[in-house]
Chains A and B, each alone.
Chain A
Amino acid sequence: MDHTCGRTYDGAMPPRPSTTLFEDAIDIPLWLERDRIAPFAARVARDRDIAAKVAATAPVELVRGWWTHLSHDSERMLGVRLQRARRLVVVAMLALGVVAGTGVAGAAFHYDGSRPINVVTLLATLVVAQTALLALSLLLLPSRPGFGLRAVQELLESINPGALAASMFRRIGGVPRDVAELFGWHPARADASGRFAKWQILAWAQTAALGFNVAAIVTAFSLIAFTDLAFGWSTTLTLDPQRAHAIAATIAAPWQAIVPSAVPDLALVERSQFFRLDGARALDVGASRTLAGWWSFTVLAIVTYGLLPRLAFLAVCVVRLRAATRALLIEDARVTALLDRMTAPSIETAAERPEDARPASPLPNASPHRDIVGTARAVVWGGAVDPANADAQARRRLGIGVRLVVEAGGGKTLADDRDAIDAIGAGGDGPIVVFTRAWEPPLLEFADFLAAMRERVGRAVSIVVAPIAEEGGALDETQRQTWARAVDGVADPLTYLEAGVT
């Protein structure tokens, strides 16, 4: 099992039911961020292993498939919480729209019998204003605006109801700082998180607008069905009925072929013009029955210019929001790195098991050779010195001369070694100096030689091991330590190391 960051991978966990794309887009990058503490090699091995079990090849599906192979406690994941909060915001925006739509439509269709409902005011409130707001929303779409448009966008962003929802969401939902930008306008407009924020906020705004229009239409229908309404038209502008009819016909053009009865004829337009100064009596007597003929026109105008554009824009927002959510997931640097780990061939070159290395032996205390007197016998091991120079070396290093020199080790045979030991043993009393090459490691066969020689010469004879550095130079610290350990390993109280003199 790897490590605990909400999810873990134990290599055998069966795929679990999938989560939503949004939850994955939130949780996967956050999980991967915490996953960075795991060793890179371990992450590569894990992700490559999971990749082999995921059938998908498309990046988003590959990543989401990978996610399902990690066991997790879904309640602890931020994405689940934010997804719930997101749905609550949708409901809240819908409710807000419904309340506003009901209120506005109730006011716009208000009729107390004193004068008809002014179709011009009604259209201005429920159609023209909405169309203008929608047009302003479209100004938010360019992701790389010029300087002027950017200023307009900033103004619109501050008054957008979706932005208000996002602000409330950030505060109430306790959104962590690193994901807060997903729910607010911010300068990274070209970034995936910027795109997500834009479409999320626009989608929320359209949800409110949808609620507004549905509520307005339902309210209008309710008032039309359950009360008697009379419509007229009035404006300060000089507008003759023919021109007003032409405008109404233009407005009604989209449904003219489908619902011809919802297009006011010229007679209705002429008969329904009124001026407040004249009072209700200015209208033709008996016109009340015909004045209701405007209702289908007004309702279809709200449907056509309010509801349907919002529905279409909401559909666009939902599609683009999904694309932005996919981008949010797949363009995240941590997810890109995950895909790289999943798809790149894994190369391993390291050992399969830990090193069975010998721990470094402790450095023995420096034990200088005791004073050696008399003349010595010398062994040249592995051609460490020219035998002719052995006496000079011994005098320089130990202050004593050499009366016998033998060679052993190196290119000599084991029989030669035995002969050398015999010669040393037969060579009388006095200490024995063994010259070795300082840069060569003391092998076990050298220890064998010292042991055999000790046996031959007896316990009372001093043996001095004298490593000779290359070209007669001083031993470096590593060489001194190496030979000190080797001599210490012989465990013989009368075997010394001579290494300190050059």
Chain B
Amino acid sequence: MTLPRFAIVGHPNKGKSSIVATLAEDDSVAISPEPGTTRSARSYPMRLDGVVLYELTDTPGFQRAREVLAWLLAHDRGAGARAAVVREFVDLHARDTRFHDECELLRPILDGAGILYVVDGSRPYGSEYEPEMEVLRWTGRPRMALINLIGAGDHVDEWRAALSQYFSIVRVFDAMRADFSRRIELLRAFGALDESWAAALNDAAAALERDRDRRRTRAATEIADLLIAVLTATESSKLPSDAPDPPVEKATRARLRRTVSAREHDARRAIQEIYHHDGLDAHESTAAYLDEDLFSQRSFTVFGLSSAQLAITGAASGAVAGGVIDALLGGTSLFLGAGIGALLGAAGTLLGSDRLANVDVLGQPLGGFELRLGPITDPNFPWVILGRALLHARLVAERNHARREGLVIDAGRGEHFADSIDASARRSLDATFRELRSNGGIDATTRAQMIATIATIAASVEAPA
């Protein structure tokens, strides 16, 4: 089985590097509106545990295609020798700076790569593309045309008609907006170029899909650990007496907020790294809602549960506890346990909703007093943290590596983000939040359940709208 290799070729500035950046998930690919940014061929092998499954090669664009074609026509020895004539051209002009770009782009093709020819379907077709398509045809290698969509225009049909004259497979692929499933779909489609490549490409696609699931679980783990950390976070300050000391309390409160915010920032960075967006600038990565102060009213409004949902969730958890009583009494309680539990749960949730954190003044065994602030008891707080983290994770997961601008979110989807979480998942998480607050920690099994629940929610919010 030969290694599937693909050369991404085409006119300058038509999105070749964007397609490579998207497929290879590599933020380091130079993408610029200025033509000729790519100077030399650059390979992007896909390795699974060190074994290369396929390889993409980004190339410079054609600069003097008509001259190349003229040379080829002048040296034509018949259809059977055309690939050899192209090779002669490359060999002869290897040191000729005038044809540096053409040699760079033709060399991987002559070495066995399949051709992925990229055009911009948002701009009109032009006959100047025909010489370069003709040169590619001379190589005799399997070819696929990809219609990229850089701008807002739509000339896809026009392009499709022209490209079909030179390429057996023509596909539209929006490099800037392609999500993971479209990338995998395209990867599998590459197999149509050469039957012997299909198995390796299918293996690669399957490995990437498993990796995608793993990333989602890793991101969910980061979110779960963030929740565990912030729901158990406390700050303390020494006090000379047990009398109230507002300045010390204020300073301690500020420290607790900074600790929680820093932990949230760490989790975001970790999630960005999981999705290979290491270079995403911290400020750039925070869209308007995510930039909002974690403790602001707006954050609580957008990301927390609505008062009704908060009451329902609290009631549901209480009802579950009451239901246990009913079960123990074998139903002889006439299911009053669940009803009372629900009432207590809802009341507890609402009463606690305007109080951020516990404040205790503790006597110390060796003298003195300690002001201890935390853990944060506001029932909506974990939902705010979760909502913000899920939104960030979704934006990062969906973010295309060809994009260089900041994250953009649909403001309309932000309203009570946590309300969109499935009711059973919400109940399960609420129970875990309560355990965290009351016990100061959870065991490994509960943590694993929490991660699984968050991963399921993340998968549902990642799904294309």
Interface residues of A (CB under 8 A from B): 36, 39-41, 48, 167, 186-194, 327, 331, 333, 336-337, 340, 344-358, 360-361, 382-383, 409-411, 413-414, 437, 439-445, 448, 470, 478, 481-482, 485
Contacts of B273 in A (CB 8 A): 39-41
Residue of chain A at shortest CB distance from B49: A345
Is there contact, CB below 8 Å, between B34 and A193?
Answer: no
Q: Which residues on the A side are within 8 Å of B29 (C-beta)?
A: 351, 355
A355 engages B49 (CB within 8 Å)? no
From known contacts A351-B28, A443-B12, infer whether A333 and B447 are also in contact, taking CB-CB under 8 Å: yes
**A440/B444 contact (C-beta < 8 A), A346-B50, A352-B45 known:** no
Residues 138-180 of B, flagged 1 when their CB comes within 8 A of A and 0 if not, give 0000000000000001000000000000000000000000000
User: Which B32-53 residues have a C-beta within 8 angstroms of A?
Assistant: 32-40, 42-50
The answer to whether residues A41 and B278 also contact, given A187-B438, A337-B221, A357-B37 and a CB cut-off of 8 A, is yes
A350-B44 contact in complex given A192-B443, A355-B30, A470-B123, C-beta closer than 8 Å: yes
The answer to whether A351 touches B49 (Cβ under 8 A) is: no
Contacts of B218 in A (CB 8 A): 337, 340
Q: Which residue from A357, A444, A470 sits with its C-beta under 8 Å from B64? A: A444
16 contacts between A and B (CB under 8 A): A167-B365, A187-B439, A188-B232, A190-B435, A192-B444, A346-B49, A346-B50, A355-B38, A356-B42, A357-B38, A358-B38, A382-B128, A440-B128, A445-B66, A448-B64, A485-B34
Q: Tell me which residues across on chain A come within 8 A of B26, comparing CB atoms.
A: 349-351
* Docked-complex contact A360 and B43, CB < 8 angstroms: no
Are B43 and A352 interface neighbours, CB within 8 A?
A: yes
Supposing A187-B439, A344-B214 touch, asked if A360 and B34 sit within 8 A by C-beta, the answer is yes
Nearest 3 pairs between A and B by C-beta? A411-B127, A188-B441, A441-B35
Task: Give the residues in chain B near A356, CB-CB below 8 Å.
Answer: 39-40, 42
Given A344-B211, A355-B38, output 20 extra A-B contacts at Cβ < 8 Å. A41-B273, A191-B443, A344-B214, A345-B49, A347-B46, A347-B211, A349-B23, A349-B47, A351-B26, A351-B29, A351-B42, A354-B28, A360-B32, A360-B37, A383-B127, A414-B70, A437-B126, A439-B123, A440-B11, A478-B33
Check: B13 CB closer than 8 A to any chain A CB: yes
Q: From A382, which residue of chain B is reached at the shortest CB distance?
A: B128
Interface range for B: 35 or more
* B-chain residues with CB within 8 Å of residue A445 when the two chains form the complex: 63-67
Whether B441 lies near A194 (C-beta < 8 A) is yes
Residues on A with beta carbons closer than 8 Å to the beta carbon of B278:
39-41
Whole-angstrom distance between the alpha carbons of A336 and B451 in the complex?
A: 12
Q: CB-CB < 8 A to A442: which residues of B? A: 35
Given contact pairs A350-B25, A351-B43, A357-B39, A36 touches B270 in the complex (Cβ within 8 A): yes
B462 at the interface (CB under 8 A from A): no
* CB contact between B441 and one of A190, A336, A351, A358 (< 8 Å): that residue: A190
Asked if B38 and A383 make an inter-chain contact with CB atoms under 8 angstroms apart, the answer reads: no
Cβ B439 vs Cβ A188 within 8 A: yes
Instruction: Give the docked Cα–Cα distance between A186 and B124 (Å).
Output: 70
Contact present for A186 and B440 (CB under 8 Å): yes
Q: Are A410 and B44 in contact (CB under 8 A)?
A: no
Q: Flag if A347 contacts B13 (CB, 8 Å).
A: no
Minimum CB–CB distance from A351 to chain B (whole Å) comes to 5
Q: How far is the CB of A162 from chain B (nearest CB, A)?
A: 16
Cα separation A478 to B37 with both chains bound (whole Å)? 14
A189 to B228, CA, bound (A): 15
Q: Which residues from chain A contact B442 at a C-beta distance below 8 Å?
A: 190-191
Instruction: Kindly state whether residue B208 has any CB partner on chain A within 8 Å.
Output: yes
Give Cα A470–Cα B221 distance, bound, in whole angstroms. Answer: 50
Q: Is there contact, CB below 8 Å, between B441 and A191?
A: yes
Instruction: Chain B residues near A188: list those with CB within 8 A.
Output: 232, 439-441
Q: By the criterion CB–CB under 8 Å, are B34 and A482 in contact?
A: yes
List, in ascending order, chain A residues with CB within 8 A of B12's CB.
441, 443
- Tell me, rounded to whole Å, the shortest Cβ–Cβ distance linking B328 to chain A: 13
Task: Establish whether residues A347 and B39, one from each chain, have CB atoms under 8 Å apart when the complex forms.
Answer: no
A410 contact set on B, CB distance < 8 A: 126-128
One of B47, B274, B441 near A347 (C-beta < 8 A): B47
Contact B33 A482 (CB under 8 A): yes
Chain A residues, CB < 8 A from B274? 40
Residue of A nearest to B228 (CB): A333
- Complex interface: chain A residues within 8 A of B211 (CB): 344-345, 347
Name A381's closest neighbour in chain B (CB-CB).
B128
Expressed in whole angstroms, the minimum distance between the Cβ of B58 and any Cβ of chain A is 8
Q: Which of B28, B207, B210, B270 is in CB contact (< 8 Å) with A355? A: B28
Please indicate which of the listed interface residues A333, A383, A414 has the most CB atoms of chain B within 10 Å of its own CB: A333
- Minimum CB–CB distance from B382 to chain A (whole Å) comes to 17
For the complex, give the distance between the alpha carbons of A99 and B4 in Å. 78
Interface residues as binary, B50-89 with A (CB distance below 8 Å gives 1, 0 otherwise): 1000000000011111110010000000000000000000
Question: Which residues of chain B are near A354, meaning CB under 8 Å?
Answer: 28
Question: Is B225 in the interface zone, CB < 8 Å from A?
Answer: yes
B33 & A411 in contact (Cβ 8 Å cutoff) = no
> Interface digits, B298-333 against A, CB 8 Å rule (1 contact, 0 not)?
000000000000000000000000000000000000
CB-CB under 8 A for A349 and B24, given A167-B365, A444-B63? yes
- CB neighbours (8 Å) of B228 from chain A are 333
Closest CB-CB distance, B220 to chain A, in whole Å? 12
**Known contacts A355-B28, A441-B11, A485-B34; A347 and B208 CB within 8 A of each other:** yes
| B185 on the A face (CB < 8 A) | no
